[in-house]
Amino acid sequence: MRVGFRSLESRIVTLFLVLIVVLQVIGLLVIQRGIDNNARQAIAGELSNGAKVFGRLLDQNAQSLRFGARLLARDTAFLAAIGNNDEGDRATIESALANSGRRIKASMTMLVNSERKISVSTNAAQAGALEKIVDGMLDAAEAADGANGIAIVERRPYQVVVMPVKAPITIGWIVMTFPIDRQLATEMREVTSLHATIATRDKAGRWLPAGSTFLAPSAQAVIEQLQAMPARDVTAFDLDVEESRYSARLLRIGEDDGQFAGVILARSIDEATAEYRRLERWLILLTLGGIVISTIAIVITAKRIAQPISELAATARRLEQGDYKGEIDTRRGDEIGALAGAFDAMRDAIARREQEVRRLAYWDTLTNLPNRAQFLVLLNDALQDARRREEAVFVLMMDLDRFKHVNDVMGHSFGDALLRQVAARLQLLLVNRLQSSAQVARLGGDEFAVLLPASDLDAAQRMAGEILQTLEAPLSLDDQTVDIGAGLGIAGYPAHGDDGEALLSMAEVAMYAAKTRNDGAVVYDVAMDQSSAKSLSLLTELRNAIERNEFRLFVQPKIMLDTGQVVGMEALVRWVHPERGNVFPDEFIPFAEQTGFIRLLTRWVMEKSAQLCQQLAAQGHHLKVSVNLSTRDLLDQDLPVKFADLLARHRLSPASFCLEITESAIMDDPVRAQTTLERLSHMGVDLSIDDFGTGYSSLAYLKRLPVNELKIDKSFVLNMENDEGDTKIVRSTIDLGHNMGLRVVAEGIESEAVWRLLAELGCDQGQGYFMSRPIPGDQLVAWLATWQAPIAVPVAAPFAAAYLAE
């Protein structure tokens, strides 16, 4: 098994390791999220409690101020000094106010007289700034025996307490202020561990720190971040201070004439989550340890799974090289053990089958002779010996005459027995001639070959003659006597070639030349190969022509001679070669019939004709299309099935087609031809005998064929207006066809006179250059629009009589 990610072992390890890591990471993320949420909730609780604590601190300060102010307001000497309202007592009042303020750490103390005017103050500037807010608190203080509030003086917050002075009526008010600054923030820090920053915001929205537990730069950073927040009121937010993240809350503590005072309580997130982070680090260490342990377990498990499979793969590679003896461990009791057992059984079965395959690959099962592959091995070995010993080697290849006909008529079992007898005769001949080194083989079908090592051309020709003489003797099988011959080709080393495949090809070319010439045995000549190469090139070009869409469908209209109505068309094929231009059918149709390519060509013509027929019907032109069938098409037993499929695909009725066959095509194999024609006729398709009068079929046989139409060959029609003999033949053919109940069609009409003569003779339909040359199928509709039949059809009787009397 290959090492790398594509190996089964690495993929198992990777898969499970990724799953474990993903699960652990997800768990860590969930825990981390939970830690963060819990920390946030805890911080939020601390900030909420801190807001309450700060409020209590403010209340405590207020109570302290009110207590000090109450003591002063009830002091007898202080009351007397106020009651005297003497200028001499002013110093006493100032002293009392200052002493009382120092005791309770008030930043400013003042006395407001009964006329609500500031009479005495320890800080005149601050007192003037507080005059307005104090004036608003006097009534509340008198009603509730004291009042307190928040004032902002010079952008700094102060806690203000107002206490009435009564004797027993209100004769004045004592006002004390307490700064809300760093001292209060420090007390808040000591009580709650929260950082506190006291700040004010003026009417323009600018913030100013009044005191903070942070160092001055950090406090300024808090103010800058607060200043950068939206203008709307904010309560909870995060801060970055001293390289730490804080969760903060802004607590409003008072307003004064559009100015705002507040305290920012902040809790370090890092400090709050410190314990959680330690737990998180422990979890990470445990996770890494679990991953390491899991990885070891996964690797061991993967090896237990993959190693036996890897061993089986190595065994498979040995099998590929032909080694069937390796040991396979089948002791495991799990699925892999079952796989190994099945693999072992498969190996044994493959070994047995390979022996059989080798026998089938190199020996012919019918005759028990070497086949083509084995013959090539023997030939190449003989060539190596001949090169070493400077000797000659000859190959004789033969093809039996008339074997296909015997096989078709007598059956395949008879043909197989015939091949076995031929093989036996050839082997016996070599034994009798003491040709111990010679070897006979069956190459396939009815082809045999003989290898003659250490021979010469004369010996090869003598052996060829003896083989032909041996095959001339009739063969007796199942009380049947069969005469059979052969065409035989000869090629040899070094005269003709030095390669086994090349020699076989040359012998085959010579063999076909012998069959063509009916000349028995023929020695290979290079001129034969040139002709063969040309034929091979033409066959290749024909195959490419279909793939490259070089063929074109042409049609020639078929017209009723009495009315001039177009009732059909004959489908024709034209080849537009990219280099040679238009290639005439006479140049490639015979070769296509000879090589069997005609079947593909016929299928192409049928397909294109069906497409054209469908298009014409859609435009209202219902014409019967005639397609020519060759001998090979007629002997194709699957032709009716293929034709039915064509009709179904294009949704056409069988009556849309007329299939034309020649007399010679029928007579090549009358039995099979009649079977195919009867099946086509039962489908409902019309059948026509093309070129009637040029073949040698008997009328008795033609009468049995299920045909609907006779086509008179153009050789009788072209000159019938000038040749009395042709006219009589045409008239006799028309009468014969009508007497047999057939439709008669004449082809080759090239003048109006011939048209009229044929019409007078009673010919049903005709086609020819007079009506139309073959035209591309896509131009037929345009031609139909312009077609006009000759005037006065059918012709008068005297017109034809003049020709018939000559």
For residues 573-584, give the mean pLDDT.
86
Task: Tell which residue, 405, 332, 356, 298, has the closest CA to residue 667.
Answer: 405
Please tell me which residue, 440 or 693, carries the higher pLDDT value: 440
Task: Say whether pLDDT at 634 is over 50.
Answer: yes
Average pLDDT for 669-683: 85
Q: CA-CA distance, 716 to 730, in Å (whole number)? A: 7
Q: How confident is the model at residue 801 (pLDDT cuts 50, 70, 90)?
A: very low
In sequence order, what DSSP letters do the residues of 340-375 get, joined into one string? HHHHHHHHHHHHHHHHHHHHHHHB-TTT-SB-HHHH
Tokens of 157: 């917050």
The string of DSSP letters for 554-590 reads EEEEEEETTT--EEEEEEEEEEEETTTEEEPHHHHHH
pLDDT of residue 567: 95
Q: What is the mean pLDDT of residues 126-141?
A: 83
What does the DSSP 8-state code read for residue 790? Answer: P
Selection from 44-48, 412-416, 737-741 with the highest mean pLDDT? 737-741
Please give the Cα distance from 791 to 706 (Å, whole number): 36
Contact 509, 399 (CB under 8 A): no
What is the Cα Rg of the chain in Å? Answer: 60
- pLDDT for position 327: 66
Q: What is the reported pLDDT for 548?
A: 87
- The pair of structure tokens assigned to 306 is 């993959």
**pLDDT value at position 668?**
64
Q: What does the pLDDT average to over 596-616?
A: 91
The stretch 552-560 carries a mean pLDDT of 95
Please enumerate, as own/partner, the contacts of 615-623 that have beta carbons within 8 Å and a separation of 24 or more.
616/780, 616/781, 617/652, 617/656, 619/781, 621/780, 621/781, 621/784, 623/566, 623/567, 623/568, 623/569
Mean pLDDT for the stretch of residues 548-561 = 93
Q: Is the dihedral of CA 313, 319, 320, 321 positive or negative?
A: positive
- Tokens 């095959």, residue located: 471
HEC per residue, 227-275:
HCCCCCCCCEEEEEECCEEEEEEEEEEEEECCEEEEEEEEEEHHHHCHH
- For tokens 């080694």, what's the residue? 323
- Please write the tens of the pLDDT for every residue from 278-326: 777 787 888 788 778 888 887 887 777 767 777 777 777 777 666 666 6
**Phi and psi at residue 481, in whole multiples of 5°?**
-105, 125
pLDDT band at 621 (very low <50, low <70, confident <90, very high): very high
CA atoms within 13 A on the CB side of 350: 16
C-alpha triplet 571, 573, 577: angle, nearest 5°: 160
Interstrand relation of 686-692 and 657-662 (parallel, antiparallel or unpaired): parallel
Among 629-638, 682-691, 726-735, where is mean pLDDT lowest?
Answer: 629-638
Mean of per-residue pLDDT scores for the chain: 83
Residue 133 has pLDDT above 90, yes or no: no
Residue 29 burial (10 A CB sphere; 0-12, 13-18, 19+): exposed
In angstroms, what CA-CA distances link 588 with 2, 214, 492, 661?
Answer: 56, 105, 33, 18
Mean pLDDT of 503-518: 83
3-state DSSP assignment of residue 714: helix
> DSSP character for 787?
-
C-alpha to C-alpha distance for 589 and 587, rounded to whole angstroms: 6
Token pair in block for residue 474: 């009739």
CB < 8 Å & 24+ apart, contacts of 300-303: 301/12, 302/8, 302/9, 302/10, 302/12, 302/13, 303/9
User: Of 431, 478, 477, 476, whose CA–CA distance to 450 is shortest?
Assistant: 431
453 pLDDT band, cuts 50/70/90, is very high
Q: Over 80: is that where the pLDDT of 793 sits?
A: no
Produce one character per residue of 79-95: b if its CB has 16 or more CB atoms within 10 Å, e if not: bebbeeeeeebeebbbe
What is the rounded CA–CA span in Å between residue 572 and residue 772?
A: 13
| pLDDT score of 85 | 67
State the Cα–Cα distance between residues 487 and 650, nearest whole angstrom.
46
Which residue has 């061991």 as its token pair?
300
Over 60: is that where the pLDDT of 799 sits? Answer: no
Distance CA 646, CA 7 (A): 51
DSSP summary character for residue 795: P
Query: What is the four-CA torsion angle of 449, 452, 456, 457, rounded to 10 degrees?
Result: -10
How many angstroms separate the CA atoms of 313 and 555, rounded? 63
Tell me how far the alpha carbon of residue 102 is from its chain's centroid: 92
pLDDT at 749: 94
Query: How sure is the predictor about 233, in pLDDT bands with cuts at 50, 70 and 90?
Result: low
CA gap 531, 506 in Å, rounded: 12
pLDDT at 763: 95
Residues 490 and 459: their CA atoms lie apart, in Å, by 11
Task: Classify the phi-psi angles of 525: left when phi > 0, otherwise alpha if psi is within -120 to 50, otherwise beta.
Answer: beta
Q: Is the pLDDT of residue 77 over 80?
A: no
Question: Is it the case that residue 805 has pLDDT exceeding 50?
Answer: no
- Confidence (pLDDT) at 802: 41
Strands (E), 38-93: none
Checking if the pLDDT of 772 tops 60, the result is yes
* Least confident window among 391-400, 457-466, 581-590: 581-590
780 has a pLDDT exceeding 80: yes
Classify residue 256 by burial, with Cβ atoms within 10 Å: 0-12, 13-18, 19+: buried
Please choose, from the candidates 86, 145, 143, 146, the residue with its C-alpha nearest in 3D space to the C-alpha of residue 119: 86
Q: Tell me whether the omega of the peptide bond preceding residue 706 falls within 30 degrees of 0, making it cis.
A: no
Contact yes or no for 422/403 (Cβ under 8 A):
no
* 190-194, 624-628, 656-660: the lowest-pLDDT one: 190-194
Distance CA 150, CA 133 (A): 9
The predicted pLDDT at position 298 comes to 79
pLDDT beyond 70 at 739: yes
The Cα–Cα gap between 266 and 249 comes to: 7
pTM (predicted TM-score): 0.43
Mean pLDDT for 762-788 is: 94
In sequence order, what are the beta bridge partners of 118?
Answer: 112
pLDDT greater at residue 626 or residue 138 = 626
**Res. 84: pLDDT tops 80:** no
SS3 state at 551 = strand
Whether residue 3 has pLDDT greater than 50: no
